[in-house]
Amino acid sequence: MTTDKIALVTGANRGLGRAAAIALATRGLRVVVTHRGDPAGAEKTVKQVQAAGGTATALRLDIRDVDSFPSFTSELSEQLERWGASRLDVLVNNAGVGVFGPLEAVTAEDFDAVMGTNVRGTFFLTQAVAPLLAQGGSVINVSTSLTRHTSPATSVYSASKAAVEALSRTLAGELGARGIRVNSIAPGPTATDFNGGAMRDNAEMRQVLAGQTAFGRVGEPEEIGDAIATLATDGLRWVTAQRIEVSGGAFL
């Protein structure tokens, strides 16, 4: 199946971003993948999209650098033109950082890095890209199941994602007049390289987290990617301002 639709996935050089890019491509969307400074990883994603029969290209983007957004949107517009398009249909705000530690260990620099990336970067990138979004488009912000339950040493990360969820609901109201849906996807424990690949590589951690889910295991990146791609489709065109948790029933 092919469509004329185009998606932008931030932080798609690895992990959930790569899985989302591939899942969108298998549903016929052309994909712009971004990376902060990992061209090799981004190119790997592009090749995997192409191997799945899709079309993709990579652009560099550091969502911490708000001042770079005007030049990035110009590059994005040029890429859309190369594809014979003028509009973007789907924006997946996936790129983010996690700094974890107990109250006494978190520094002001840690706090600013997490909030500056996950909240400030997400907000201002959406602001920058919004004029390019097509009527009836979709914005999907990646959150976390940690906004519903608690886990040690995650306070700042969880707070940043709770802010992303609040932004999603408010922006759904602001952009709704253009038919643009804004939702958040909240993954549970997933085997990616996030946080040093702990949930992927640490067998003891995986076993503990698996025991706290209804399905008895941690998630796989492809399962989150499929959820993102499904939310982007017209089949869920009446869904906006929602938080959709994809966690296998974690911490019920």
In contact, 34 and 8? CB cutoff 8 Å = yes
For residue 60, what are its two tokens?
Answer: 């560099």
Q: Write down the catalytic residue from 69, 72, 157, 194.
A: 157
For residue 211, what are its two tokens?
Answer: 């025991």
Helix (H) or strand (E) holding 226: helix 221-232
Residues 6+ apart with CB under 8 A from 69: 124, 125, 128
Label residue 180 exposed, middle or buried (CB < 10 Å: 0-12, 13-18, 19+).
buried
Report CA torsion sign: 222, 93, 186, 146: positive
Q: Which of 139, 125, 220 is nearest to 179 (CA)?
A: 139
Q: Is residue 157 annotated as part of the catalytic site, yes or no? A: yes
In contact, 22 and 229? CB cutoff 8 Å = no
Give the active site residues: 157
